[in-house]
Amino acid sequence: MAYQHSKEQIMIKDFKPKILKMKWRTKEEKTDCGVYMMAHMESYEADKAVAKWKTGLLEEKHKGHREQLDNLRSKYAARLFFMRKMKRK
């Protein structure tokens, strides 16, 4: 019996991902991808073009970049911690 692909698998077989050219994109930053992902999910609006997408993220070369990421990491970690704690009650 041959494996049958789902229609979704067939539809995306030839799909080529598009890497967006965002001004806050980093070259050196390698460890905070989760922080960036959370910030993107928090600010994404499907009906806006990339040029109008306002994440509030500072560019990598900005002097406040590291502090901003540290603050965001703390914010997201606290949310996850307290969300899990509340679910246990």
The pLDDT of residue 20 is 77
Q: What is the mean pLDDT of the chain?
A: 84
Q: Tell me what pLDDT residue 66 has.
A: 92
What is the pLDDT, as a whole number, of residue 78? 93
Type and span of the H or E element at 43: helix 33-43
Q: What does the pLDDT average to over 24-34? A: 83
Q: Please tell me the pTM assigned to this model.
A: 0.64
pLDDT of residue 74: 95
Contact between 69 and 33 under an 8 Å Cβ cutoff? The reply is no
Q: For residue 1, name the pLDDT band (cuts at 50, 70, 90).
A: low
**Mean pLDDT on 37-56:** 83
- On whether the CB atoms of residues 35 and 73 are closer than 8 A, the answer is yes
